[in-house]
Structure 1
Amino acid sequence: MNKYEQLISWVENIKDRNHSSAAALFIMKDNQVVLEHYSGTHSNTKNSSPITATSQFNVASARKSYLGLTIAYALYEGKIRSLDDYAVDYFEEYDKTLLGHTTLRHLVTHSHGLNMNDSGMVYREFESGEEWAYRGINVEMMTQLIHKLYNKSFPELLRERVFIPAGFTETAWQKADHDNLVKVVINPGEPAESKIGASDDGTESNLFVSAREFAYWGNLHLNKGYMNGKQIVPKEVIEIATQVHSPHYKNTNLPQNGLFWFVQNAPALQSEIGERVPKGSYQILGVTGPTILVIPEYNVVVAKMYNKRYNYEGDNYLQYLREFSNLVADIFAQ
């Protein structure tokens, strides 16, 4: 079995075990496409269309990496003074006592300690900077902040500054269903659902991306904003987005984050990046299964796609993500 067949076998095994109807794997090495693999169908229903290069997957919370780039722009352009600014200076609508000493750094690294209940009430789980927890309220807050700072949504900002210059035509927040959109399997015993939204302003989880443009997004970061023979994004903006911004944790097993990217610093047991992946690598994940892994030391970008909610079997997801990233690292270290 050659090195790429090992990765394809792993991807297909997860697809079958977790009842995803679709999978895709797209790998770039030294800015060249070295593997494209597509399998399955757009839905788990009879006569559903096969997955192809133009199939666009709902990337769920992997959209955080797109939001992160606009936050990097805001820092680079001075619209945000510092990640160590207090959140109360930017979010007047939130309770000042509740926010306390929470900083923007805490918000972008999942170390803020805030949560929201089903009735919309915000409460505190732990003191900012002391623990790590993915909750989503920070993504909502930073989405609101970018809109306030630029007087436009972060997807609109990205379309102007990145997607159009890069020639991306298969990356968009979708409000209307069409043939290239892959549906999401919620319950394997029921038909997959269309996960389009009512808005394209980034407030909903309706970003759809093809596997190749997902990989190109990773490769744009790998190349520090250089693409198609031009500097599309300032190098400094990419560096801000992908460097470690996490506070110093007493618990060394907690993940390290850039601007929402998971970044490999010292290997950590609770990180989604395996311990054999080189330092400086970074990854993003969505609950429907999409991941981008960027390994600068090997000049490699790997994008893999699924369409099953809780694709990696719920609480076991870290095991699978670490296993796959270690496999990629082992293959390209040879």
Structure 2
Amino acid sequence: MLKKIGGYSILIIILIGIIYFFLPNYAQKAFLHLTADIDDYEIFENRTVAASNPQPWKKSPQYNQYEMGQTYQEELEAYETTAFLVVKDTALFYEKYYLGYDENEISNSFSAAKSIVSLLIGIAIEKGKIESVFQPVSDFLESFQEGDKSKIVIQDILTMSSGIDWNEAYMSPFSKTTDAYYGNNLKKLVAELEASEEPSQGFAYKSINTQILAEVLETATGQSISDYATNRLWRKIGAENDALWSLDREGGMEKAFCCFNSTARDFARIGQLVLNKGKWNGEQVIPADYIEVATQPARLMGSEEIIPHYGYQWWVLNYNGKQIPYARGILGQYIFVLKDKNAVVVRLGKSRSKLYTDEHPNDVYIYIEAAYELLK
């Protein structure tokens, strides 16, 4: 009997090996790693977004003087939080780290990177590299010059209303999103895209939209988006640590829809820049009018329809009569901008709620409430 079981086991292993051999490269990687992780920069090639002239956060006189309620602490731990940080009046007000992480540990942003790409678009417009959000994508990408794709403008991409055909499936090892994450040729994926409907017909969250924006930026500026972010954003806001932007292959394209790896303190600078309406230490890094439009509910092109929960690659939460813009990643990476408290909240971690209220994961409300508890 034991010999028979052993024989079956060997046969199963051989079959798995055969199946694995015939899988496409990206599916092999998905099979090996099973699920995305906040430390995945270790398995990818990366390009550095370099910091220089760091401006460490000053600490508030009330730094870590207050503690959130036990219920909130338990919720943070239940969702495998690695960092929870609050900046108030441009000073560190509260920060706590979990699971062996600390203030110098970098973590994958996942889709919070989309919000950073949006800011880079705003900078490129201000610098004259892009005419406006109404400029056709076809001016930058040859593959968009024919058919229905030729109708798509940058604003359609920013608002996730491009009409591009894309399977936003995270659990399937054979989905296009898995190919984008684990594959090695993002530009090929973009070039092969087709339009499934007219642009500006409605909101449909598709990560490939942000990858299109990255290619637009690369063509418009003549630089990789990492280099553009280094020179026009990261150094401007006094980041303390180099960030890493994961690539599809060595010397390749940034995974712009995800995979900007940084610390909680430096992610908070992105929120502070938005809170400052694009200004940092007196310098207007991003136009204030772009920040204003990007972080409020978007209006679809040629329509009266409003997307109540989304702007230009920034989510918008309506909470107790307040409008809170925030960046968000799939494992609970959040940068919240609390205008009424002149505060920024960063939460990093390894999981988030699978339940949603008004298009927002339910744990979002926990972190917002915890922050308001601390800021009373």
TM normalised by structure 2 equals: 0.66
Q: Pick which of 206-215 and 315-324 moved more.
A: 315-324
State the 1:111 CA deviation: 1.3
Which residue number corresponds to residue 369 of structure 2? 327
- The equivalences for 1:17-166 within 5 A come to 18=79, 20=80, 22-40=81-99, 50-94=100-144, 96-116=146-166, 118=175, 120=189, 121-166=192-237
Counterpart of 2:75 (choices 4, 8, 13) is 13
What do the CA deviations read for 1:172-198 (whole angstroms, capped 9, x no partner)? 1256xxxxxxxxxxxxxxxxxxx9974
Give the paired residue count: 287
Contact 1:171-1:213 within 8 A present in 2 as well: no
* Bigger helix share: 2
> Are 1:293 and 2:336 an aligned pair?
yes
Distance 2:107 2:321 in 1: 26
Which residue is 1:247 aligned to?
A: 300
Is 1:312 the counterpart of 2:374? The answer is no
Structure 1 residue 142 displacement after superposition: 0.6
Provide structure 2 residue ranges, at least 5 long, that are not aligned to the other structure. Answer: 1-64, 168-174, 177-188
Q: Does 1:214 align with 2:259?
A: no
1:269-288 counterparts in 2 under 5 A?
273-276=317-320, 278-279=322-323, 281-288=324-331
Distance 1:329 1:35, change over 3 A: closer
* 1:304 alignment partner, SS class: strand
Equivalent in the alignment of 1:223:
276
The one-character-per-residue Cα deviations of 1:238-269 (angstroms, maximum 9, x if unpaired) are: 44644554317666675230x31123xxxxxx
CA distance in 2, matches of 1:88, 1:235: 24
The Cα shift of 1:330 comes to 5.4
Letter of the 1:63 counterpart: A
Check whether the contact 2:104–2:263 (CA below 8 A) recurs between aligned residues: yes
Deviation at 1:26, TM superposition (A): 0.5
Change (3 A) 1:73 1:243: farther
CA distance in 2, matches of 1:238, 1:254: 17
Give distance in 1, aligned partners of 2:244 and 2:273.
Answer: 19
Deviation at 1:99, TM superposition (A): 1.3
28-37 vs 166-175, which deviates more? 166-175
In structure 2, relative to structure 1, the CA distance for the partners of 1:197 and 1:27 (3 Å cut) is farther
Higher mean displacement: 241-250 or 298-307: 241-250
1:64-96 deviation per Cα after TM superposition (whole angstroms, max 9, x unaligned) = 122111100122123222222333333321362
**Deviation (angstroms), 1:160:** 1.3
Q: Give the superposed CA RMSD.
A: 3.3
